[in-house]
Structure 1
Amino acid sequence: MRPYAWLTALALVAGAACTGPGDETPAGRPGARGAGDALFPELGNGGYDVAHYALTLDYVPETNHLKATAVITARATQDLSRFDLDLAGLTVRRAEVDGAKARFTREKNELVLTPEKTVRDGATFETTVTYDGTPRMIEDADGGVEGWIETDDGSTALGEPTGSMTWFPGNHHPSDKAAYDITVSVPKDEDGDPYDVVSNGEPRKEEDEGKRVTSHWRSEEPMAGYLANVTVGYFDLHQGRTSDGIPVHIAVDPDEAEDAEGVEDLVPEVTDWASERFGPYPFSSVGATVDHLPGLGYALETQTRPYFDEAPEDTLVVHELAHQWFGNSVTPREWKDMWLNEGFATYAEWLWQEDHDGDTADEIFDAFHDGSHPESEGIWDFPPAAPPSGPRTSDPPVYGRGAMTLHKVREEIGDDVFFDVLRTWTRQHRHQNARTEDFIALCEEKSGADLSDLFATWLYEPGKPD
């Protein structure tokens, strides 16, 4: 993935890779439809690597209507005659590639673009898509919802695993991370009061234009599409800093303010604690959005600004902030490796309790193993590193048994080596993608031990280990 800081340099050399006067335009070939993920075969696309998204959104909460433009800067990884973007619903009005009108068609959740000229392998190119409509909310097989979700005073966009394609076109597989600039313009309500807009990264500018307010947020560190978020509504906004000086941005719905009173102190406290356990915080800001969305039933680790549907318990804050290291900075290459997200974040909860006069990790492990823990139901349904289908990547084995795997590794190699492994993992793969095999190799390298039987038993074998 090309970091955001390289965009200017890439743009300067792009012309060298494009067809010039007297050159023969190559025939090229279409980019792959899908990123090759076994659990989500149609998600993501091939033939290019996105470096940056510039999303300009004009949203009307009263009608839930969106008008938008997406400018996508990418590098071709082959001679590209045609390529796909993931987009569910919405109406595409125009598409351009490098300023020239591009032909486009829609096929299910694919926006298929044919540029005027073949994009040369290695060239940086810019795709602009203008679109509008009412963004979709997706209902998953387990009854949960994702995508663009209306709230009682606005909306929120929650993307795991496929919901991000309901509000912007892109390469929506976690293997293609990119920097983001998200600009949102919202009219004031009927009383003339402005809505608040919360997104990822840092607020760069807010302009009051009389009848509407425009907010610009920037995420310079790479981000997977499913972690992008825009939340519109009325919020109490709090700003602060961690002890390391990291800016903290917290938004709390007034309906949750009383129950969420401690969140503005808890977020920096957890961030400082996790930095000691897992290594330096990987982003340039941190925070939380506490919304009021009864019935949603989950929180999400949206990058730098975890989203909570109601006032959260302390361990849930720990879980979602731990994801900033495990899942957001170090992101799985494929969805089958989701235990690298959820198992690690669940084990962070165990460590937090152990460090704060709660049950020890040993005691929590035993409660999961004997079935007395309230979250232990279903953890033996399948091995955590081998989910049987895409919808099941959020099932109990990926969380509880994933955390149990980490505890068995800790027992086997000892605390000093185990926590060295965690800090090395977050450093070596910072802002990158990784696989289960990478983690196993690191554990064996650091410990000098053959851990193949341990990982085979806890990650890959069906049934309950002794």
Structure 2
Amino acid sequence: MRRTPDRIRPTLVAVAAALALLVACTTDAADRRGGRDGLRPGSVDLADPYVPGAGNGGYDVSHYRLAVRYDPAADRLTGRAKVVATAVHGLSRFTLDLAGLDVAAVTMGGTRAEHRRDGDELVVTPRHELPQGRQFAVEVDYSGVPTAKADGQLGTGGFLHTADGAIALGQPWSAATWFPVNDHPSDKATYDIEVTVPDGLAALSNGVPGERTSADGWTTWRWAEPALMASYLTTLVIGDYRVQTGTHAGKPMVTAVPAHLPATGPEAASLARTGEIADFLASRFGPYPFDAYGGVVVTDARVGYALETQSRPVYGPGFFRSGRPNLAVVAHELAHQWFGNSVTLTRWSDIWLNEGFASYAEWLWEEHDGGRSAQRTFELEYAATDWSRRVVDPGRSGLFGTTVYKRGALTVHALRRTVGDDAFFRILRTWTAERRGGNATTEDLVALAERVSGKPLRQLFDAWLVGRSAPALP
């Protein structure tokens, strides 16, 4: 994610060491004891202090199949979600995150399951309890007027009704505003997404485009993401868009800009460089990790950022106010396809693993494109940095602060200076290969960097990530 430049505001929050997600499945004392068969409710919170209330324990989702219909005139969404998961311990009941929508029915194995709402949680009690290791599927029929929520940092996120459609977008969460979900990046899954909208409107989402069909004044757009994806990386963009569909490197390339924007404007010109920039980043980071490319520009002023929604980033209007193409933001969001999307943080306190590497990719692209060298950018940023602000565990209000981005990128370049270019790029390519499709922490990166380089690096990372004074230049 990258915020529109004139909206970035640094924040300073000192927070104790991050809570481990090992407490994710705790409930009350009686539930922890369980019965003789080990059954207990899944937890209703994954205990991540950066997103209190988000995520659920007791199961691991493998796939979402979503079929939604949206009528912009009435601002009404109807949907059916099929969630396929496996019980990680014996489950007497479990919960899904779902904000603001009405649930008509919940079924499991073709039979009704008891359900109730508890705020933004959908609580499901299956007719037959689920033993550890049992795969199950739950189908939820739901409808209503989707709501957006203010997260206090990026403005309003989630499902946004627009003049000609809607945008579902946001970080660190947004998915629960339009489908039932385990809304935490530690539980990634694959997706099939089917969106039905009035004829003449586009309905853009993640992954590979499928067959498009029309009937009775409605068009159904189909998308499939066969690679594991964190829920906050899902998106839905509905409206009057000029959609360009082609291929790049043998994979689908889908880009879209609002139809009222000029075909030769800076938005379209920026998206047109997507394949070129992705190829350059692949030469540094390893093979592109997904089965499709693309990007979408939106013009709703509430979207004051760009977001790395998987395989198809969404760019807010603020990045093109200059009237010139903005390749830096494209490089940033495409870099996230490796750092953040394919290799996903386990807990939000490690967000620098996303933003530090994506910011550094901007430096690499600028140098490659004939601009300032990465070394010179490093020197300038080093001189301008407030070293009292930490990168790891920056606090909830510092999650998207400048420090996470800039000091994170400084750390990446300091690692490069310390181990040398050959070892540095081997570290990056090994990281993206070995961790592809999974989750990771800062500790995982330090261990891998030491293994690949053969050098002790703990003090380096500590100094550049959490030290309170300017580190010595390597």
TM-score in terms of structure 2 length? 0.87
Distance 2:36 2:415 in 1: 55
Alpha carbons 2:266, 2:326 under 8 Å: kept: no
How big is the shift at 1:62? 1.4
Query: 2:424 — aligned with what?
Result: 418
Instruction: Report the residue type matching 1:161 in the other structure.
Output: P
Question: What runs of 5+ residues in structure 2 fail to find an aligned partner?
Answer: 1-34
2: CA distance between counterparts of 1:82 and 1:62? 37
2:259 matches 1:248: no
Structure 2 distance, partners of 1:145, 1:43, is 17
Trace 1:54-453 onto structure 2 (pairs within 5 A): 54-142=65-153, 144-188=155-199, 194-242=200-248, 244-257=249-262, 258-310=265-317, 311=320, 313-371=326-384, 380=387, 382-389=389-396, 391-453=397-459
The list of structure 1 runs, each at least 4 consecutive aligned residues, that deviate by more than 3 angstroms after superposition, is: 24-27, 462-466
**Equivalent in the alignment of 2:466:** 460
Separation of aligned partners in 1, 2:152 and 2:209:
35
Give the letter aligned to residue 322 of structure 1. A
2:154, 2:305 within 8 Å by CA — same for their partners in 1?
no
Deviations 1:356-384 (A, max 9, x none): 2211112111221222xxxx6xx646311
Matched, 1:48 2:59: yes
Alpha-carbon distance in structure 2 between the residues aligned to 1:260 and 1:214:
26
- Where 2:92 maps in the other structure, the secondary structure is strand
CA contact (8 A) 2:271 2:330 kept: no
- Separation of aligned partners in 1, 2:235 and 2:226: 15
Question: 1:239 deviation in Å?
Answer: 2.2
- Counterpart in the other structure of 1:8: none
How big is the shift at 1:429?
0.5
What letter corresponds to residue 351 of structure 2 in structure 1? M
Contact 2:70 2:77 in 1 (8 A): yes
Task: State whether residues 289 and 306 of structure 1, in contact with CA within 8 Å, keep that contact through their aligned partners in structure 2.
Answer: yes
Partner secondary structure for residue 241 of structure 1: strand
Q: Distance in 2 between matches of 1:282 and 1:123?
A: 30
How far 1:186 sits from its partner (Å)? 1.1
CA distance 1:169–1:295, shift in 2 (3 Å): closer
Contact 1:151 1:292 in 2 (8 A): no
Q: Which moved more, 1:266-275 or 1:308-317?
A: 308-317
| Mean Cα deviation higher: 156-165 or 75-84 | 156-165
**Cα distance in 1 between the residues matched to 2:154 and 2:361:** 27
| Deviation (angstroms), 1:25 | 11
Distance 1:338 1:256 in 2: 34
Structure 1 contact 26–118 (Cα < 8 Å) conserved: no
Matched position secondary structure for 2:107: strand
Q: Matched residues in 2 for 1:63 and 1:443: separation? A: 53
Q: Percent identity?
A: 42
Which 10-residue stretch deviates more, 232-241 or 299-308? Answer: 232-241
What is the distance in 1 between the residues matched to 2:251 and 2:218?
Answer: 30
Could you tell me whether the CA contact under 8 Å between 2:387 and 2:469 is conserved in 1?
Answer: yes
Distance in 1 of aligned mates of 2:341 and 2:285: 13
The answer on whether the counterparts of 2:388 and 2:467 sit within 8 Å (CA) in structure 1 is no
Q: Distance in 1 between matches of 2:302 and 2:37?
A: 53
Residue deviations 1:182-226 (CA, integer Å, cap 9, x gap): 1111123xxxxx111111011111111031111111111110000
Aligned pair in 2 of structure 1 residues 450, 128: CA closer, same or farther (>3 Å)? Answer: same
Q: CA deviation at 1:415?
A: 0.6
Shift of 1:159: 3.2
Cα deviation for residue 334 of structure 1 reads 0.8
Following the alignment from structure 2 to structure 1, what is the Cα–Cα distance between the partners of residues 38 and 359?
A: 50
The equivalent residue for 2:9 is none
Determine the C-alpha separation between the residues in 1 that align with 2:38 and 2:348.
33
Separation of aligned partners in 1, 2:55 and 2:468:
30
Q: Secondary structure at the match of 1:120?
A: coil
Aligned length: 430
**2 CA distance for matches of 1:315 and 1:402?**
17
